[in-house]
Amino acid sequence: MNQTIPVVSPQFIRSRIGKVCVAIIGSTPAEMLEKAQETIRENTFLEFRLDYLDKPLAAIPKLRQFLADRADVTAIATCRRAAAGGKFKGKIAEELEVLNKAAAAGFHLVDVELQTAENVKEAELEKLRARGAAIIISWHDFTATKDLDGIFERIRPFDPDFVKIVSTAKNLSDNVTMMHFLERTRDMANMIGICMGDQGIISRVLAIRAGSVFTFAAATPGEETGPGQIAARTLRETYRIDQIDAATRVYGVAGNPIKHSLSPLMLNTAFRRETVNAVFLALQATKLKDLLTLVREVPIHGLAVTMPLKEEILEYLEKTDAISEKIGACNTVVRAQDGKLYGFNTDVAAVVRPLERRLQLNGAKVLVLGAGGAARAAVFGLKEKGAEVFILNRTAADGQKLARQAKARTFRRDQLAKTQFDVIINATPVGMQGVKPNHILEPKEINARLVFDMVYNPIETPLLRMAREKGVPVVTGVEMFVHQGARQFEIWTGKPAPEEEMFRVVVHALRQRSEEAAKTGKA
């Protein structure tokens, strides 16, 4: 007697799931189930990456028991072949055998690559469909974002329950391409669409608003199953993905590199604390015109601008505040209702105010290391306060140019060891996590009443460590970082910034990073 297995409808699945599906990996069934048990405390929608197991078929009985015991869990079975970017080394027939067994074991959805679907007989897919699980037909492009509509048209004849198209963002505009594609197709199928890569993080957060049924997340940092994948807790707590809707305003920090910026954590914390319906994203911007396309199309309501765009962006702004115009660098952009962009500079106050709390700047002798956007903010801001400012820059011509513009003076490194300053400020990226070299001065060259390092990651830079060892008081980059971010928040929202909370989360995150680096030997 043939037993009819009830088919799971897409509507039933959509009623059970949230906006985030957490990918579960492990080298053994036991490890995979342990991670699943930990994850379902916060998220009951899981994707089991069976291709990560040496023998996926052997794991099916244990997974069957897990799903039987946890009726609240909705599970996707994925066994992606190596040819399609996965880890399964078997052939198409073996992949289908794993997915058939998974469907019979209680998985609610099975993920079939388009390449697999196009290379098997229709009866094979019907057999899989008859097992009762909903079918996802998926496509992954690990190189680019191109011809999404063409891929969609290749998938449609298979009449899957869900269509999953994943590309790779090579620039910020690729996210716009993906989101416009989702807007076009959202009423034609149950769509899942995201861009991979560091520049695709925008789509992982905003694609749901554009029409993706859900997005994917890693169980924990370090367990990503695709480039640029975000940890589930970060998606929920930092980006508040469950609350993003059509009215959510989008802001971001733009620069290169930007991957390790703590601005998203800091500003999203401020938005949450002050109940602002907004989200703040990291925007890996290699070309300014690419960034401006994103600003126009998403649209982005405000930008924190960092290296190397602070000067270049000026020509694209309708108007700037007086200090931005004077120093020729802008770190804060507001997009008005008419789409025009206005610039501000919060770096100046963020340099001057921490120093004013500690000493009299009028007549103070200050050495600024560097001649870029951050240095310009420091030099012009300090000159306005009556300080005697000296500039030391690796490229002498750039230092001389800034000195002429700000009516400051240049300084030679060979004079350092025998010169006393009130303040030495590092306005270069030297000392920043991952930037080489990590020493900008030698201990004998630190002759000052106060040392200020604008680098905020790590909290204790090599320069600050040397200063402390000499008994010289310091100003950390965190103080400046939080201060300028707080002013940006106020410009964008008109609300007072929760500075203490912003400072707390930044310091906590930096300490965590330092501990992790020490454990892995990367400190």
DSSP 8-state symbol, 397? H
Say if CB 395 and CB 388 are below 8 A apart.
no
Say if CB 40 and CB 69 are below 8 A apart.
no
Using the Cα atoms of residue 483, residue 487, residue 488 and residue 489 in order, give the sign of their dihedral.
positive
From 35, 101, 164, 310, active-site residue = 310
* CA-CA-CA-CA dihedral for 259, 260, 264, 269, to nearest 10: 160
Phi, psi of 215 (to 5 degrees): -125, 165
CA distance 435 to 503: 23
Cβ-Cβ contacts under 8 Å for 433 (sequence gap 6 or more): 260, 457, 458, 513, 517
DSSP secondary structure, 61-84, as one string: HHHHHHHHH-TT-EEEEE--BGGG
Structure tokens at 136: 């996802």
Count other Cβ atoms within 10 Å, centred on residue 430.
21
DSSP secondary structure, 143-175, as one string: S----HHHHHHHHGGG--SEEEEEEE-SSTHHH
Q: Determine whether 225 is exposed, middle or buried from the number of CB atoms within 10 Å of its CB (0-12, 13-18, 19+).
A: buried
Phi, psi of 389 (to 5 degrees): -110, 135
DSSP secondary structure, 413-456, as one string: GGGGGG--EEEEEE-SSTTSTT-S---SS-GGG--EEEEEE---
310 is catalytic: yes
- Active-site positions? 310
